[in-house]
Structure 1
Amino acid sequence: MNKVLLYGLLSIAILSGCKKEVVPAAAETVTETVGRVSVKNIEFNYLTAKGQLKLNESGESVSSGYSLRIKKDSVIWISVQPGLGIEAARLKVTRDSVFMVNRIHREYLASDYSYLSEKFKVDMTYNVLQAILLGNYQAQGQEKVVDAGEQQHIQQLNANLLFDYFIGRQTQKLQQLQVKDQQTSNTISVKYNNFQEVGQVAFAHELVAVAMKSGKPATFTLNHSKVTTTDEVLDFPFAVPADYKRL
């Protein structure tokens, strides 16, 4: 599997943030309080974005453009586009399945979440991917609030995953998130930077994330642009040519 396709897949697990260029009509803010936790999440029906992503792994660096579509709580779709209108890979993630097509190697994947869990050595689900992608805080599992000065520090334990959320007290926005698999000790750490208004909601336009697997880091930097939210129904096209090999 080539590197472009690899970071396209990895980016689904750690994407977030956007730089606002068009005010999304459907974007709104929701303040959710759980005990002493107060946070403003972005809410929408459909979201689209374009941007640039970069991967640094094992001394190598790769960058590419991408297009993203999300139907909240249902579908995540991404097209990885290195340039000149060429698509290197397309991915579609639903609540129970992962689909991927590699146009360079003429291969495709159709699997459940065991593929992502094995690849990252972290127990992956759709809800985990979407929460990291959006930079939204979710109340789930066993939870406690830790005093952390200017930030709210919330720890959650959900199945094998330990979540550490750091939320600004003044901004009420998620600033840092760490997900740790209790069985493997592998982690995904995400920092959300450079918040700008998206409609009524402050939303990060820069993301820096580090996936640590077996002590080896892979660092991702994402900058997103042309982000919109809408109530208009979007398509999530995905087709595999008959001559492609299944992975």
Structure 2
Amino acid sequence: MRRNMLNKLFILFCVLAILSCKAKKQLAVSPKPTEKINPNISKLNAIKSGQTNFTTFSGKARTKLDINGSSNDVTLNIRIQKGQKIWVSVTAIAGIEVARALITPDSLLVINKLQGLYIRKPFSYIYSFTSKQVDYSSLEAILVGNAIPQLLNEDAKMQADSGRTVLSGNLQELVYKLIIGADMKVTHTELANQSEGQSLIVDNSALMPAENRVVPSQINMSSMASSKKVQVNLHYIKADFDLPLEYPFSIPSRYDPAN
């Protein structure tokens, strides 16, 4: 665990939001005035309204990380300032902090406390680990149990299924499927880019109350990107919204840059 923790932390943050960015340009095109009004718009708006809105989020999750068959149990303390930053502290046995990360739409900072290493890179550095189809807002959405925003678009096919709503579609090279419960919460997300050998599946279950809102207490993620296979099982044991939070992060002068 000591040798691989930094790489595992990187892979965790890099693969959670695979495959979103290419869809943005297509979604930015406004429908022409002559186009037919989509009858599913009202349902789509209801789904969007059912997503959890927040300013800040803090959660503590017991987490199992499996990277290419190598498994470790850790605890993640996650803090989010919406649209601005995601702060994560990783603790191992006996509550010892082994790593800390700060992710923004523009940058990626990680320190490995066990090895005295750090990485300070632009957000684009994660393209070394996965494709350029990455979107920061998707990662925020997944961590709080929301639907990935880009997938809630008017071009999606919509189908009722036993009280649930199934959204599916193809945005450029991205094939997706969302299952939304009767409470308008996403229970299943499935993304695939076959041409690049990438996929991401997220399952949410067991909603728990948190500050007059709900969040899935169980979030299971399975991702494949090239030769990297990642399984992440988060079990939130605590979650709060809109509390004042701090995001402490500094790189000690004695730490060396990681290769």
What TM-score results when the alignment is normalised by the length of structure 2? 0.77
Q: Is the 8 A contact 2:54 2:241 kept in 1?
A: yes
The alignment partner of 2:234 has SS state of: strand
The one of 158, 164, 167 aligned to 1:154: 167
The answer to whether structure 1 residue 57 and structure 2 residue 54 are counterparts is no
1-structure distance, mates of 2:124, 2:192: 17
What TM-score do the two structures reach when normalised by structure 1? 0.80
Q: CA deviation at 1:123?
A: 1.8
Q: Report which stretch shifted further, 37-46 or 132-141.
A: 132-141
The alignment partner of 1:209 has SS state of strand
Equivalence for 2:57: 47
Q: Is contact 1:3–1:62 with CA below 8 Å preserved after alignment?
A: no
Partner of 1:9: 10
- Match of residue 129 from structure 2: 119
**Inter-CA distance 124–114: structure 2 relative to 1 (3 Å threshold):** same
Name whichever of 73-82 and 119-128 sits farther off: 119-128
3-state SS of 2:146 partner:
coil
| 2:7 alignment partner AA | L
Taking a change above 3 Å as real, the CA distance of residues 110 and 34 of structure 1, as seen in their structure-2 partners, is farther
Q: Which has the higher contact order (CA 8 A, sep 6+)?
A: 1
Matched, 1:191 2:198: no
2:81 counterpart residue number: 71
Aligned to 2:192: 180
Q: CA deviation at 1:213?
A: 2.1
Kept after mapping to 2: 8 A contact 1:52/1:63: yes
Q: How many percent identity over aligned positions? A: 22
User: Does the alignment pair 1:109 with 2:119?
Assistant: yes
Asked whether the equivalents of residues 138 and 149 of structure 2 are also in contact (C-alpha less than 8 Å), the reply is no
What's the secondary structure of 1:120's corresponding residue?
coil
Secondary structure of 1:88's counterpart equals: strand
Greater share of residues in strand? 1
Alpha-carbon deviation of 1:237? 1.3
CA contact (8 A) 1:34 1:139 kept: no
User: Is 2:47 aligned against 1:36?
Assistant: no
Instruction: Sort the Cα spacing of 1:69 and 1:176 in 2 relative to 1 into closer, same or farther, 3 A.
Output: same
Q: CA deviation at 1:57?
A: 3.1
Cα contact 1:5–1:80 (8 A) shared by 2: no
Q: What residue identity is the alignment partner of 1:99? A: L
Q: Which moved more, 1:159-168 or 1:96-105?
A: 159-168
Q: Displacement, 1:200?
A: 3.6
Matches of 1:157 and 1:223 in 2, distance apart?
31
Query: Distance between the aligned counterparts of 1:157 and 1:46, measured in 2?
Result: 32
Q: Higher helix fraction: Structure 1 or Structure 2? A: 2
Q: Which sections of structure 1, spanning at least 5 residues, go unmatched? A: 16-32
Task: Work out whether residues 99 and 112 of structure 2, in 8 Å CA contact, stay in contact via their aligned partners in 1.
Answer: yes
Aligned residues: 228
Instruction: State which structure, 1 or 2, has the greater radius of gyration over its C-alpha atoms.
Output: 2
Q: Which stretches in structure 2 are left out of the alignment for 5+ residues?
A: 18-39
Aligned to 1:207, which of 219, 232, 240?
A: 219
